[in-house]
Amino acid sequence: MSLIVSARNLTLGYNGKAVITGASFDIESKQFVFLTGVSGSGKTTVVKSIYGEISPIGGRLSVGGYEMNGINRASLRQLRRFLGIVFQDYKLVPEWNVLRNVTLPLIIAGYDKRSAEEKALHYLEKVQMADKADRFPFELSGGEQQRVAMVRAIIHEPVLLVADEPLSGLDFHSAQLVMDLFQWAHQLGITVLIATHSIPEHLIPGDLSIRQLHIENRKVNELL
């Protein structure tokens, strides 16, 4: 299996103040990884460094073969086209309807509008959202918005799917649907990294092989 994420003695932080120090870990292709830790432990910081929102302040980080230390704009754009990102607050474009939001990664990837919409509707059917394709985000519940965000994150079949607290604030039914989508993405061969305060074991089937990286005292440790 190939390495998707590789961190060596990584230090991350804001304004020179370290949040994560000396972290060394790897994520290999097609793994299903949970990154756990209490609130404020630095899970979001690690996720942000993976999609290039922040740069390492020490050590080395490589994602999909791209060195994240001082990555240039063009390389970052290229990298992000191979990532799927899910946020706690969904980050759907409020002025666009569900279909337009979901087709975004496909249009960026060069799909024509018609085939992008066909594929989007097919994926939306899988999450029982096809009948709401013309709705705007403000017309959807939190669970529905997260399902739309999930479809947007996997529709272009990324190499790595990164999610930051994707189940936060969702009811049991919505959380189950979202977790099913993560498993589906995993079955499609997508590497999954979910940052969450605790593993939702009640939502994970027993046969799913998972890894857990845990953040404590600014260090990232392997738990499972």
Partner 1 sequence: MSYYKKSDSFFSHFTLIFSLVAILGSLFFYQFFREVYLEYQMNLVTESTMVIVTEKPLKKVPMPQYFQSMEPISPSQQLERIKSQFKGIDFSKVHLPYFYKLQLKGIPTPRALLYLKKKLLENPNIKRVLTFSTTQEKIYNLLMIVNYISTAFMWSSLILGFMLIVKQLEVWKLRHAEQIYIMELFGAPFWFKGATIFKIAFLDSFIALVIVAVGTFLVLNSPLIETIKQQLGITLHFSWLGEIAFLALVGIFISLATTLIVIRSSSNQ
Query: Which residues of this chain interact with partner 1, rule CB under 8 A?
Result: 51, 53, 73, 76-81, 83, 85, 91-97, 99-100, 104-105, 107-108, 133-134, 136
Give least dist CB 158 to partner 1, A. Answer: 10
For residues 86 and 167, which CB has a smaller minimum distance to partner 1 in the complex? 86
What is the DSSP-derived secondary structure letter of residue 203?
G
What whole-number distance in Å separates Cα of residue 73 and Cα of residue 156? 21
φ and ψ of 219, to 5 deg: -110, 150
Question: What angle, 0 to 180 degrees and rounded to 10, lies between the N-to-C axes of helices 98-109 and 113-126?
Answer: 130
Name which of 34 and 51 has its Cβ closer to partner 1.
51
Q: Which is nearer to partner 1, 132 or 219 (CB)?
A: 132
Is there a contact between 59 and 96 (Cβ–Cβ < 8 Å)? Answer: no
**Order of strands, edge to edge, in the sheet holding 3-14?**
17-28, 3-14, 58-63, 66-67
* CB 186, min distance to partner 1, A: 21
Amino acid at 146: Q
Cβ distance to partner 1 smaller for residue 99 or 190: 99
The Cα 196–Cα 112 span in angstroms is 36
Please name the residue that has the structure tokens 């996720």: 47
Of 190 and 220, CB closest to partner 1: 190
Whose tokens are 């990837």? That residue is 109
Shortest Cβ 93–partner 1 spacing (Å): 5
Query: How far does CA 153 lie from the centroid of its chain?
Result: 7
CB of 119 vs partner 1, minimal distance in Å: 15
- Whole-angstrom Cα distance, residue 29 to residue 194? 14
Identity of the residue, 48 or 214, whose beta carbon is nearer to partner 1 in the bound complex: 48
Tokens of 221: 């440790």
CB closer to partner 1 out of 77 and 122: 77
Q: Which of 184, 112, 108 is nearest to 151 (CA)?
A: 184
